[in-house]
Structure formats: C-alpha cells, structure tokens
Chain A
Amino acid sequence: MTLLTGTFYYLAAASAGSALLAVTRKNPVHSMLWVLALFLHVAGIFLILGAEFLAAVQVIVYAGAILVFYLFVLMLLDLSAEESQSRFGTHWPFAAMVGSSFVILVWITQIERSESIATTTDPSHPLGSVADIGMALFGPFALPFEIASLILLAAIVGAIILARKRTAKK
C-alpha cells in the first residue's frame, strides 16, 4: 500500500465518519461543523483522484460559500426551541433501513471487480487541468454551461422574492 492509497482510505473513512456525525448531532451548529469536515475531506479525495480544479471549487464554493450561507440562516432561526425536540422522527428505523440498503450497493460494486484501464497518461498533460476542463466547458458542454448560469440567475431572483418582506401595495 503506497502512501497515496493509505491517504485515500483515511480520507474515505474520515468523510464517512463526519457525514454520519453530521446527520446525527443534536445541535445544528455542530452538524454544520461536521459537514465542513466532510467537505474538506471530499476535496482531499478529489485531489487524490486527479481533479485539482474541482478540489479548489469544492473548498471555495461548498466550504466557503454554501456552508456560510447555511450558518447565517441557522443564526436567524431559534435554535433553543429546536434542541428541546427529538431530532429524529418516529419512523427513523425505516429511514435507517433505506439508508443501509444503499450501503448494500458496496457489496454489489465489489462483485464486479473493475480492472483499471491501461492508463496512458502523459505526465506533461495531466487529466483535470484547468485547460482541459475549460476546453470541455466551452466545447461540448457550452449549452449546459449556459443553462447552469440561467439556473443560478433564476435561483438568485427566486431567493430574493421568497425571502423579501412583503409590503402592502398602495
């Protein structure tokens, strides 16, 4: 086992553990901090899998922007009333069953043992470089890229309209 493989298994175990803690903590702020740990570990997995640009986006957008947004909204709400209630619904055993049925997928993936395609990577041109992703974004993915910007614009307008205080019309 090389050092990189060991690092991958550490990152995988740590992300699974922090995800489990994030969905089970009683205090929502603690959950947010565990989700932050999850995002950073997933960014590490991206780095090991050769997606440097995506790792940077993960840290900047997920850990930087989205998580701060969640924390701001958490501070606007009444947390003390939240903590007195039970954190799971009464149906949580069924939810655990459905969740663990996805974990059974792990064994299915182990049956079809995949052999890695003979990789002929050119070290001077690594996969996942910003140039590669940029060429794909503005080449075959140009239309989905524009649609994604449209979705973000619609989300901005929708969030403002939803969260704005309604004033009486004259």
Chain B
Amino acid sequence: MIVPLHTILGVSAILFGIGVFGFLARRNIILMFVSVEVMLNAVNISLVGFSQYFQEPHGQVVALFVIAVAAAEAGVGLGLLIAINRNQTGSSVGDLTKLKW
C-alpha cells in the first residue's frame, strides 16, 4: 500500500469541502454544476481508496456508476440552462425568480 487510507480520505474530504463551498457561494449556475463535479470527484477518490484498502474491485465499479450519473446530470442540467436562457439572458441564480411567490 503506497498511501495509508486516512491520507486518501483526507484528500477526499478537502476536495469535497471545496466543492461544497463553491456550490453554496457561486452565483453562476454553470460554476455551481462544476462544483458538483468537484464533489463527485472527491467521492470517487475515496471509493477508489477503499477499493485498494479492501483489495476488492467493487469500489471501482461504484465509481464507474458515479461517473455515469455525473454525465447524465451534466446533460440534463445544461439542457435546463439552455431552456432558461432562451427566455431570459444571464445564468445567475439571482435572475431565476419566476418561482418566487
């Protein structure tokens, strides 16, 4: 084992924290999606770390599913963004007040 498990989990936690900060703080929808991708990458790192720790390929298979779901999320989210941009310009969440009561 090259790196102990707690180091891998620490890297994963730092990346996840950065992703959470970006998702909550940014106002641009595209940058919020990118922060979600950062969080998914952090989870993938810990899954691969567990996979190496337990010497099982299952963690890597689950990470593969995470990548598939990330691709689906990007497709639907950016499709929504294009649909929103057809009616109004700007991709800031501050502009999306249609559902506000």
Task: Evaluate contact between A114 and B83: CB separation under 8 angstroms.
Answer: no
Known contacts A77-B85, A113-B6; A28 and B27 CB within 8 A of each other: no
* Interface SS of chain A: helix
**What residue of chain A has the Cβ atom nearest to residue B15's Cβ?**
A19
Task: Evaluate contact between A152 and B86: CB separation under 8 angstroms.
Answer: no
Question: Which residue of B9, B28, B57, B78 is within 8 Å of A127 (Cβ)?
Answer: B57
Task: Evaluate contact between B76 and A8: CB separation under 8 angstroms.
Answer: no
Q: How far is the CB of A102 from chain B (nearest CB, A)?
A: 3
Q: How far is the CB of A168 from chain B (nearest CB, A)?
A: 15
Task: Evaluate contact between A5 and B2: CB separation under 8 angstroms.
Answer: yes
* Interface SS of chain B: helix
Question: Which residue of A4, A50, A102, A112 is within 8 Å of B13 (Cβ)?
Answer: A102
Return the 9 tightest CB-CB contacts between A and B, nearest first: A99-B21, A23-B22, A102-B17, A95-B24, A155-B72, A159-B79, A95-B25, A162-B79, A116-B1
Interface residues of A (CB under 8 A from B): 2, 4-5, 8, 12, 15-16, 19-20, 22-24, 28, 31-32, 35, 38-39, 42, 45-46, 48-51, 53-54, 57-58, 61-62, 65-66, 69-70, 73-74, 76-78, 81-82, 85-89, 91-92, 94-96, 98-103, 105-106, 109-110, 112-117, 119-121, 127-128, 132-133, 135-137, 140-141, 144-145, 148, 151-152, 154-156, 158-163, 165
Interface residues of B (CB under 8 A from A): 1-11, 13-28, 30-31, 33-35, 37-38, 41, 44-45, 48-49, 51-58, 60-61, 63-65, 67-76, 78-83, 85-86, 89-94
